Amino acid sequence: MKTANGTTRPIALLKTASRQPRRSAVPVKAPDQTDVSLAQATVLAKAVAEETRLRLLMLLQPQELCACQIVEVFELANSTISKHLSLLKQAGLLASRKSGRWIYYRWPDPSDLQDPAVDLTLQWVQALLQSASQTQVDREQVQQILQLDPVALCLRQRGGDCC
C-alpha cells in the first residue's frame, strides 16, 4: 500500500503504526488477587520513584528513627527530608508517631496494613535494595548517629533552636 509520501509499506505495518495504545480502566490484579486501582498503583510508583525516598525506606526498614537522625544521615535540609517523608507517609509506606517534640518514622506494622499493594511495594523495595551498597553505608552511618544525644543533634542542626 502506498503512503502519503509515495513510499510503499505492508498493510500490517500501516495498521499497527496508526494505533494508539489503549488505556485500561480495569484494575491491576496483585498476586493475591486483590484489586489495585491504577490510581493507587500510580501513587505507590511515584512514591518509590526517587532515590532519596528509596534510601529512606531502606534506612527505616529495620528501625524507627526521629526526623533529626534522618536529616543527619542524608545531609539535606530538614524541609527536603520532611517532604520526602510526607510523600512516603501519604502513600502508606511509612508510619509515624510523635513523642514530645520529636516525630519518629518507621515502616508500618504488618498487622496495620489494610492495603495489600503497600505490603507488596515494601516487599519489592526490600528485596531489591537489601544488599545494595548504599543501604549498607546508610545503615552504618545511622549506627554512629544513634550514639549521639538526640537533643544535641537537633540543636546543632537548628542552630540552637531545638525542634
Look up the pTM and report it.
0.72
Question: What is the structure's pLDDT at 106?
Answer: 96
Question: What is the structure's pLDDT at 127?
Answer: 94
Gap between the Cα atoms of 146 and 108, Å rounded: 21
Q: Looking at domain 36-157, which CATH architecture does it have?
A: Orthogonal Bundle (1.10)
Domain borders along the chain are: 36-157
For 158, the 3-state DSSP assignment is coil
Question: What is the structure's pLDDT at 64?
Answer: 94
For 55, the 3-state DSSP assignment is helix
Task: Yes or no: say if 105 and 98 are a contact pair by the CB < 8 Å rule.
Answer: no
For every residue of 132-148, DSSP letters joined together read: -HHHHHHHHHHHHHTTS
Spell 65-95 as b/e; 16+ CB within 10 A means b: bbbbbbbbbbeeeeeebeebbebbeebbbbb
Strand partners, 48: none
Q: Along the 163 residues of the chain, how does pLDDT read in single tens digits? A: 555 666 555 554 444 444 444 444 444 455 554 566 888 889 999 999 999 999 999 999 989 999 989 999 998 998 999 999 999 999 999 999 998 888 999 999 988 888 889 999 999 999 999 999 999 999 999 999 999 887 777 777 776 555 5
